[in-house]
Amino acid sequence: MIDRRQLLALFSAALLAIVLTIASSDADARDSGAFVKDLGDRAIEMLTSKETSKDEQERRFRTLLREGFAIDKIGKFVLGKYRRKASKGEIEDFLLLFEDYIVSLYSSAFRNFSGETFNIKRVVKTKRARDTMVITQIVPTNNGAPTKMIFQVRTIDKNFKILDIRIEGVSMIITQRDEFTTYISKHGGTVAALIDALRKKTKDLKTRAKDDKK
Amino acid sequence: MILTSHSEHQKNRFRYVPLFAGVLLLGGCAATKGADDVNDPFETVNRAIFDFNLELDRAILRPAARTYADNVPERIRRMVHAAINFIRTPIILANDILQGDVDRAGITMARTMTNLVLGFGGTVDAASEMGVEFHDEDFGQTLAIWGAEEGPYLVLPLLGPSNPRDAIGTGVDSFGDPMNFFAEEAAVSLPRTGASAVDARSRNLDTLEDLERTSLDFYAAVRSLYRQRRKDEIKNGESQDPVPIPAISFEGQTAPATHAKGRDDSKPTVSFEEGVDKPRADKSRDLVPTGTGDGTKPDTERAKKPAGEKPNISLENEQKVPATSTGDKPA
């Protein structure tokens, strides 16, 4: 029979274990919030200047994108069911192109920044142990209604990577997947068709951006 | 709708009962959907109506909204927006109540009183400034709370993206709006509709233009946006479920440096499919995408918790662990 002291020791050990587990997972959750905050601050610092040249802007954006986002994983996800039908070479082509597409879409978005505040509201754990949801709010300078932005952050190899941004309930990754898969299904069901279209689109966006600059 | 006591309207309302039943049945049939399945059996017709709406938008609504946004001072536009929201109060309150959401009904009442008294008859959203934010509700959302599935995607002429559930919701809201009883003449209701349309359109001019310019398939992008927005609205913007993005077995092996080199040599040899075929016990769940990240029955989730009752079914996606806050640090 276990005596009371042993029981007490056992009990406190169990309690300690529970406290430690909670503490460590809390630290994880807090960190993903800090990670998003840091990335956001740096994006504002590096990308909002209207003086920066277009190329330099894109270069900086690409650096932040690769550092903060699991861009390969995102790229594979947005192919939906067609990923399985694509050859390895096609997927590699697509991933390179997809990154270019994202860069040309969003690298100049920060130029419209006009002092909005970026608040981390809270971090929510999910049933997927490695995913946390970082809930943030963008408050416009004119005291208008704030925009709710949720970042889905995954721990990959001890690094945080953003998988998705959800703005007012609209997930970027799902919208992109729905659009791309529809495009593929309407164009012969091959990823090759999407690659062609994406190449054209990216080129088009770049030319337009250059025209805008002139 | 429940605010009126006019017996004629009461009688008329019963004509809609078979319609409700119809939509609930329809919902039941359309419940099975895969992750990439778009549930758009009328896509050809929908695309045609979408193009028609787009032409109309380019010709009339977009220029009107652009003129409005460019020429009317922001202060006035905010007042117009506040007034439009204020006029919607009876509809919002009725749907709050029909959804059994006592808290939100209370918020709607408090906001109404505040804005009536302190907000110059509803033209200033004083309640929002005090931190009691506006929320919208409609009968389409109420039907969802009651368990109706959205059904196939529809594009309605003039009204745009919808589905059977939301189309009926729109009809019921418009039919039951006491403001429409008070002002049945077109002289009053048309300007209201027009103002609402211009106000709404002026608030997303850039967003939609960007989307149209950057997307490969604008129709598909709008369809996806509409569905996601509706799901979020039904959940009152409270969903924090992650998108089920598969964990790929080789992750971590792609060093950042491979990007720069053009991903030539160190590409992982393990393919994604192998991950699917041989899911490890701990990852198997990650590999099965369940719809659009909201679980299998997203729309009915809140239906299971009417006011004051604990949900009797715990959905696995509902596990919101109160996590640590990093505080509301300003940037």
Q: Where residue B223 falls among pLDDT bands split at 50, 70, 90?
A: very high
Tokens in use for B58?
């380019």
pLDDT at B134 over 50: yes
Q: Where residue B167 falls among pLDDT bands split at 50, 70, 90?
A: very high
Please give the helix or strand (H or E) that residue A162 lies within, else none: strand A159-167
Q: Give A131-158 as a DSSP string.
A: EEEEEEEEE-TT--PPEEEEEEEEEETT
User: What per-residue confidence (pLDDT) applies to B277?
Assistant: 36
User: What per-residue confidence (pLDDT) applies to B248?
Assistant: 57
Q: What is the pLDDT of residues B59-93, one digit of tens each?
A: 999 999 999 999 999 999 999 999 999 999 999 99
Q: Where residue B239 falls among pLDDT bands split at 50, 70, 90?
A: confident
Residue of chain A whose alpha carbon sits nearest to that of B251: A156
Angle at A90 between CA A88 and CA A93, to 5 degrees: 110
Of B129, B216, B272, the CB nearest to A83: B272
Q: Is the ipTM of this complex over 0.95?
A: no
Q: What is the pLDDT of residues B241-291, one digit of tens each?
A: 888 887 753 333 333 333 333 333 333 333 333 333 333 344 333 333 434
- Contact residues on chain A for B267, CB-CB shorter than 8 A: 88, 92
Q: Where residue B204 falls among pLDDT bands split at 50, 70, 90?
A: confident
User: What per-residue confidence (pLDDT) applies to A214?
Assistant: 53
Tokens in use for B87?
């006029």
pLDDT at B11 over 80: no
Comparing A157 with A108, the larger pLDDT belongs to A157
Query: 3-state class of B312 per DSSP?
Result: coil
Q: Which of B206, B234, B243 to mutate to test the interface with A (most CBs of A within 10 A)?
A: B243
Cβ <8 Å between B327 and A133: no
- Contact residues on chain B for A170, CB-CB shorter than 8 A: 225, 228-229, 232
Taking each helix axis from N to C terminus, what angle separates B62-71 and B186-202, rounded to the nearest 10 degrees?
A: 80
User: What per-residue confidence (pLDDT) applies to A50?
Assistant: 79
Average pLDDT, chain A: 86
Comparing B193 with A178, the larger pLDDT belongs to A178
Residue A131 phi, psi (nearest 5): -105, 135
Query: 3-state class of B230 per DSSP?
Result: helix
**What is the mean pLDDT of the segment spanning B321-329?**
40
